Chains A and B, each alone.
Chain A
Amino acid sequence: MTSSSMLRSGRGASERSARTERASLLGPGLLYVTAFMAVPVLLVLSYVVFQRGRFGGIVYEFTLDNFSRALAETYRVVLVDSVIIAGAATLLALVIGYPVAYAIAQLPDRWRTIALVLVVIPFWTNFLVRTYAWIVLLSSEGVVNRSLISLGVIDDPLTMLYTRGAVVVGLLYAYLPLMILPLYASITRLDPELREAATNLGASRLRTFRDITWPLTLPGAITGCIFVFVPSLGNFVIPELLGGGKTVMIGNVVRDQFLKARDWPFGATLALFLIVVLVLLFALQSVLSRRYSTGGPR
């Protein structure tokens, strides 16, 4: 509040003071995000128009080569592949996560908390440890194969590890809680009377779900899908460990440009492509959310 604004009276002043208060509340957070996120990211992205030095490093000579290189078939194939794999993990997470979230929402209060904690617990364990656990489960000499062989179900071990399927399963497992939580939130916000009304009007359970529950929980589903899809698309640890390096995702390629090829400008270009894809996704999400959440309880 400046002294000059104190002299003014009426609505303008209070609006201004509200604005000042908002700004002062937002200030620290904005400063933090700008200094530690936006500036470094923008710096790295600014490299896209420069060249790689012969031994790494960056030569500040303008070029558009990185873009034409990024459009090479090699990387198109990898990007499409990444979208397919991340998409499969997302779809499976939705199919598995929805019933789970629905079931948790039906529980009495005390059990709800316990169930939610159980969903989140894996997040408290180191990511690498959890991924290695899958290796122990899936390998040809692993728990699953040995059990099946000793039960006489199979004679030779199944090839499960180091396949695309293993990558999808790994991503699904890693990010499933991120699907369940927003779904749970939107399901609990559902007004039960709406479903009752539908039932009273003679709708079958399936029809009630299709016409009432699903549309009203769609924003939660979309949020969950974004939460799973985005980190899946950029992940490079799981493809490496569970895919045995034979499934290459765009995250692996970006990582290799920075850490192996010492080609920062090109790595930044590929990362920029990825960011564009994700920004488009978020735009789609906000459009869909607005369309479906009008009229529903907020």
Chain B
Amino acid sequence: MKTLARSGRRALAGAASVVLALSVAACGGGSDDETSADELDANADLSQQSIVVSNWADYMPADIADTFTAETGAGMEVTTHATNEEIMAKLTAGADSGIDVAFVSGPFAQALAEQGLVEPIHADLVPNLENLYPEAQELSYDEGNEYSVPYAWGTTGICYREDLVDAAPTSWNDLLEPAPQYEGKVTMMATDRWLMLPAQKALGFSANTTDEAEMEQVKDKLIAAKKTLLAYDDTTFYERLISGEAVMVEAWDGWCNYGTAEDPNIKFTVPEEGSDLWADTMVILKSSENKEAAHAFINYVLEPETHAWAAENILYNVPNEPAMELVPGEMKDQYPPLSLTPAELLEGEPLVDLGEAATTYTQMTTEITSSK
């Protein structure tokens, strides 16, 4: 069956490829070889190369393929994925995914690197790496940006309606054990890492803890918290604040801004117990046959103008100093999270891959969300 998965057979019809994808033996298990870097030619003719970039929808300029081609001569095609898990399934399925550059969150970049699926970043082909804040070059899932380049970063906190709460929340416990008048008006996220985070931090644990006794405490706290929740919500929590159904929600800093854009009473705070530091990164696949163009793409994204687009349109912080300087001052006033400094962001604990413990997190998530 493996012969079916030879590269160059990418233009299979949709339905057939579904069947094939299922029938192509997925060789699981990471290889433990040291990732060795290919020899790359800094003077390669990029017009002979074409790359496929997989990203979350609307996460980069809609016309980026055209502007990138105009800039470098290399062809580019964009495909989208909805979640890290979806792109991971594609990239780890053993067949050639046909993707050259993928956007994934830090822990997933780490997991891909451990499996030997990503190409180390050739810094000489990405001169714009110097635009990154020094802090963005020492993120614990990939110290020194050896195999990934951060695209956006941020933290998680409480997004709330200033006009509907008596006092601004300061602690994760304000969310986990809300005052009686706010019961049923609070939401939390359901994705395992962020479901656990508030309780982990409130109890003084690491956001990456795999200690069973600690996780039991986290679970109990979250089962108790479920009784006061309006809903688990990963995607529309800011809409609930706008409508007033909720007064306090667990939120990523950038997504809280979406609420603020509609209602200036919506504010963001990082609780005193601390939080996480998440980063979305770009990786180049080892299977790519267009590695020079892939590096050129990352370099192009790191151009201040390109990277500032993300800050101004997705309202996330980008780890690019000249790009953040391009963001208009009034925008930073309107959306305070955009003024978080790298040092403040680094106070958050970087999320790293959990390895085998991921299964435990998943089962606990089911236990918590299905508890009565």
CB < 8 Å: which of B23, B192, B233, B366 contacts A78? B366
CB atoms of A58 and B26 under 8 A apart: yes
Most chain A beta carbons < 10 A, residue from B22, B226, B366: B366
Instruction: Enumerate B232-274 residues with CB–CB distance to A below 8 Å.
Output: 232-233, 243-245
CB atoms of A57 and B359 under 8 A apart: no
Known: A53-B29, A57-B92. A74 touches B370 (CB 8 A): yes
CB atoms of A57 and B366 under 8 A apart: no
Report Cα–Cα, A45/B27, bound state, in Å: 17
Report Cα–Cα, A58/B369, bound state, in Å: 27
Would you call A130 an interface residue if the criterion is a C-beta within 8 Å of the partner chain's C-beta atoms?
no
Instruction: Enumerate B280-302 residues with CB–CB distance to A below 8 Å.
Output: none
CB atoms of B231 and A244 under 8 A apart: yes
CB atoms of A40 and B19 under 8 A apart: yes
Q: Which residues of A contact B30 (CB under 8 A)?
A: 53-55
Total A-B contacts with CB atoms under 8 angstroms apart: 115
Chain A interface size, as a band, is 35 or more
Instruction: Enumerate A155-214 residues with CB–CB distance to B below 8 Å.
Output: 159, 162
Q: Which of A118-126, A221-229, A260-268 contacts B (4 or more CB under 8 A)?
A: A260-268
Q: Which residues of B contact A263 (CB under 8 A)?
A: 359, 362
Report Cα–Cα, A162/B231, bound state, in Å: 6
Q: Which residues of B contact A247 (CB under 8 A)?
A: 370
CB < 8 Å: which of A57, A74, A81, A261 contacts B28? A57
Q: Which residues of A contact B23 (CB under 8 A)?
A: 39-40, 43
CB atoms of B356 and A39 under 8 A apart: no
Per-residue CB contact flags for chain A residues 249-264 toward chain B (1 = under 8 Å, else 0) read 0000100110111110
Known: A40-B22, A53-B28, A58-B28. A260 touches B362 (CB 8 A): yes
Instruction: Enumerate B195-244 residues with CB–CB distance to A below 8 Å.
Output: 226, 229-233, 243-244
Report Cα–Cα, A81/B111, bound state, in Å: 35
CB < 8 Å: which of A56, A69, A248, A257 contacts B92? A56
CB atoms of A36 and B369 under 8 A apart: no
Report Cα–Cα, A240/B245, bound state, in Å: 17
Q: Which residues of B contact A35 (CB under 8 A)?
A: 19
Would you call A218 an interface residue if the criterion is a C-beta within 8 Å of the partner chain's C-beta atoms?
no
CB atoms of B114 and A55 under 8 A apart: yes
Would you call B165 an interface residue if the criterion is a C-beta within 8 Å of the partner chain's C-beta atoms?
no
CB atoms of B19 and A260 under 8 A apart: no
Would you call A289 an interface residue if the criterion is a C-beta within 8 Å of the partner chain's C-beta atoms?
no
Given contacts A246-B229, A261-B358, 7 further A-B contacts (CB under 8 A): A52-B28, A54-B29, A140-B245, A244-B229, A246-B226, A260-B83, A263-B362
Please report A residues at the B interface, Cβ cutoff 8 Å.
Answer: 35-36, 39-40, 43-44, 51-60, 69, 72, 74-75, 77-78, 81, 139-141, 159, 162, 244-248, 253, 256-257, 259-263
> Which 7 pairs of residues, A with B, have the shortest CB-CB distance?
A244-B231, A53-B28, A57-B28, A245-B232, A248-B370, A261-B362, A58-B28
